[in-house]
Amino acid sequence: MSARVAILISGRGSNMSALCEAMKADDFPAKPVLILSNRPGAGGLEYAKAEGLPFAVVDHTGFESRAAFDAALHHALMPAQPDIICLAGFMRLLTPGFVEKWTGKLVNIHPSLLPKYPGLNTYQRALHAGDTETGCTVHHVVPEMDAGEIIGQARVPIRQGDTAEMLETRVREAEHALYPACLRKLVGQSSPD
């Protein structure tokens, strides 16, 4: 049986499309059931449209509070009955109430080797610290930001002369392999080499 996967985005959606492309494999035990963006202009929505995937927009600017936005998000997700909700560049902090409703089903990808560098500007922070490697982490979502149990990580070298942009490109490439591998792990089948 295929697990039902909803993917939440705010922008480009390159991780979302990497997940969807991976789910096209016959042996991948999951399928995308909803792409949801909080920004009407999110680039990733173009992929969803081109692929004929169900998508929705819940524009956060139309809500007076985080709780009201999260209630609308919950309402939009419910009919899709997702088994897993993948946050993929979803740039809104979720309320504890929302996270509790979907406990165990919410996962996120973050561009650092957590617990190092939760939050924003991870590339700049790794460069500034003089680190020789960084990477990305897929983790369960808990009310505290970027603090949930780790599902998987990928390491990426930091090279002499790297800029934040160069690092971002290298990490993003690693993310596109890591997220599908972690999703596969989550839905109960090990990834073929």
* Residues forming the site for ligand GRF (CB under 6 A): 9, 11-16, 88-89, 109-111, 136, 172, 175
Q: Is 110 a catalytic residue?
A: yes
Single out the catalytic residue among 110, 128, 139, 176: 110
Give 114 or 187: the residue with its C-beta nearer to ligand GRF.
114
Q: Confirm if 66 and 93 have CB atoms less than 8 A apart.
A: yes
Give 168 or 189: the residue with its C-beta nearer to ligand GRF.
168
What is the nearest approach in angstroms of ligand GRF to the Cβ of residue 11?
Answer: 5
Residue whose beta carbon is closest to ligand GRF: 89
Beta-bridged to residue 6, according to DSSP, are 34, 85
Secondary structure string (H, E, C) spanning 120-162: CCHHHHHHHCCCCEEEEEEEECCCCCCCCCEEEEEEEECCCCC
Return the C-alpha torsion angle 78, 107, 10, 31, nearest 10: -60
What is the nearest approach in angstroms of ligand GRF to the Cβ of residue 160?
Answer: 23
Give 12 or 140: the residue with its C-beta nearer to ligand GRF.
12
Give 4 or 39: the residue with its C-beta nearer to ligand GRF.
39
Distance CA(27)–CA(143), nearest Å, equals 33
Q: Confirm if 12 and 37 have CB atoms less than 8 A apart.
A: no
Q: Which amino acid is at 143?
A: P
What is the nearest approach in angstroms of ligand GRF to the Cβ of residue 150?
Answer: 14
From residue 24, alpha-carbon distances to 19, 40, 92, 175, 180 in Å are 9, 26, 28, 18, 11
What is the nearest approach in angstroms of ligand GRF to the Cβ of residue 44?
Answer: 6
Which residues are the active-site residues? 110
